[in-house]
A and B are shown apart, each in its own frame.
Chain A
Amino acid sequence: MNIEDMVLPSIKNIPSSGIRKYFDIVNEMDGVISLGVGEPDFVTPWNIREAGIYSLEKGHTHYTSNSGLKELRAEISRYLNRRYGLDYDPENQIIITVGGSEAIDIALRALVGPKDEVIIPEPSFVAYKGCTLFAGAVPKVVNLRAEDDFKLTPQLLKQAITPKTKVLIMPYPNNPTGAVMTHEDIAAIVDVLKDEDMIVVSDEIYSELTYCGNHVSIASFPEIKDRTILISGFSKSYAMTGWRLGYVCAHPVLIDAMKKIHQYAIMCSPTTSQYAAIEALKNSSDDVLYMVSEYNRRRRVMLHGFRKIGLDCFEAQGAFYVFPCIKSTGMSSEEFCEKLLREEKVLVIPGNAFGACGEGYIRACYASSMENIMKAIRRIGNFVSKHCSKQAD
């Protein structure tokens, strides 16, 4: 038996992440400034950690119900109502998941199968395409454009819809571009969607991290609320990535379907994390405000830095990424990233890792200390001026 033959061709054909090689280089090097990892540099606020520890002391070490602790679901329901004007019944419209990632997986597996098409705006988080393929469905990529500020426009959406379309992924605020969709932008999308038989999977994991006005959820549009699956979680807003805790909200019929997968594949989300998350929602909104204002300063420093270096950089307004264009250097994204890492010891991620249309861009994450960001900008400045003057020769 050839063990390779035992792996499903559909899995084998998914390329391994192209950026793993950078991580290998980083591990061999000292003094690298990483703007590569997409997670908060803040440690989870102590009151949240303490609540997790206390739950362990009290002996809360068992499973919870499949959907998650009732108290946590009730807190999530209240939070979504107070922050975004949404209305979800904690009884039958919320499942606590293992991060937003699990939510993406169970949503797609519950909805699509062979021949179904999933519209995925790119550049975006890599899991959408991966999970679509795992479900045996067909990713239909929409190439977002810098001139649209990487927003999904009604025209782009219309062009992508076919009779086989079953799901639209809405990845805003966006990883890796930092793009957000305003109320007006979403209204135009809703206008297209309301006459189509399809479900919107809206990944709003970065919803708290918006810097120019409040986040608007597509689920707040009554026309399509019942056809929207809202995904969010605690990782980004409360700096809780390692706790692995997210949630998914939807119509009871869709929740029921997703719960079937969740209960067999996961059983329930980590109990300690759930107790910690209750504390997060009840008592940590000030911590979120503090972190958001810190990120916002770093965002401005980074945008200013890249522009000063001479790289075009669209005004990212959400998440914690900027997505500068490096076409002027004459290098490909991967070439830029590898050389930058080797020569100046700064790790950024090539834009094409998030979809082919990300070629010519890099993703730099500003969830890093101000000191590191300023140092990294100086190093990138050296790198660009060195290579651009070479190019001019």
Chain B
Amino acid sequence: MDEILEILEGNSRYSEDEIAVMTGKSVEEVHKAIKEYEEQNVIVGYTTLINWEKTSRESVLALIEVKVTPQRGEGFDKVAERIYKFKEVKACYLMSGGFDLTVIVEGKTMKDVALFVAEKLAVQEHVLSTSTHFVLKKYKDKGVIFNKKPEDDREVLFI
């Protein structure tokens, strides 16, 4: 049934009818599978991939490396939770290597992000240090290359 997930991950706008045809299953089967995925939180949500740079919206994105002291019995989870609950945090990952958490923060301006880091993130108990990197340009996100629309440039020939 994972094929349904693959299809939806590529394009969540396909209807259940369309997915049924693509996978050779009945519409009922597809409907039931998707419902189950949603209930089990396998499908966590549906979103749209937008290249905001092409719109008038001003926003900046930063990747912040955070070093944390893990807590007895809770590891990093408790600290992570306090961080990822901020609406400014778009993503939060526990990392191996030289630091512990990657926190992706979005704000309207660089100042916004800097203030968020200074006032909300760095001051958290158990946070040892932060290192902020601003995203200058998105080339590719979620497997999609941003700057060009793929076009069919195959020449016609007889085969």
Chain A positions near chain B (C-beta within 8 angstroms)? 17, 19-20, 23, 26-27, 34, 36-39, 41, 125-126, 175, 293, 297-298, 300-301, 304, 347, 353, 368-370, 372, 374
Residue of A nearest to B6 (CB): A293
Pairs across A and B, CB under 8 Å, 23 listed: A19-B158, A20-B158, A23-B158, A37-B154, A37-B159, A38-B159, A39-B154, A39-B159, A126-B158, A175-B159, A293-B6, A297-B7, A297-B22, A300-B22, A300-B23, A300-B24, A301-B18, A301-B21, A347-B156, A353-B158, A368-B152, A369-B152, A370-B11
Residue of B nearest to A347 (CB): B156
Chain B positions near chain A (C-beta within 8 angstroms)? 3, 6-7, 11, 18, 21-24, 152, 154-159
Is B156 within 8 A of A300, CB to CB? no
Shortest CB-to-CB span from B115 to chain A, Å, is 40
Is A34 within 8 A of B23, CB to CB? no
Is A304 within 8 A of B21, CB to CB? yes
A26 to B6, CA, bound (A): 34
Given contacts A300-B23, A300-B24, A301-B21, contact A23 B154 (CB under 8 A): no
Shortest CB-to-CB span from B39 to chain A, Å, is 25
A238 to B10, CA, bound (A): 21
Query: Which residues of chain B have C-beta atoms less than 8 A from A293's C-beta?
Result: 3, 6
Give the residue of B3, B6, B22, B156 whose beta carbon is less than 8 angstroms from that of A37.
B156
Most chain B beta-carbon contacts within 10 A, residue among A37, A38, A126, A175: A37
Is A17 within 8 A of B22, CB to CB? no
Query: Which residues of chain A have C-beta atoms less than 8 A from B156's C-beta?
Result: 23, 26-27, 34, 36-37, 347
A27 to B23, CA, bound (A): 35
Shortest CB-to-CB span from A19 to chain B, Å, is 6
Shortest CB-to-CB span from A323 to chain B, Å, is 15
Q: A20-B158, A34-B154 are in contact. List 20 more A-B contacts (CB 8 A).
A: A19-B158, A23-B158, A26-B156, A27-B156, A34-B156, A37-B154, A37-B155, A37-B156, A38-B159, A41-B154, A126-B158, A293-B3, A293-B6, A297-B22, A301-B18, A301-B22, A369-B152, A370-B22, A372-B152, A374-B18
Query: Which residues of chain B have C-beta atoms less than 8 A from A372's C-beta?
Result: 152
Is B158 within 8 A of A41, CB to CB? no
Residue of A nearest to B152 (CB): A41
Query: Which residues of chain A have C-beta atoms less than 8 A from B23's C-beta?
Result: 297, 300
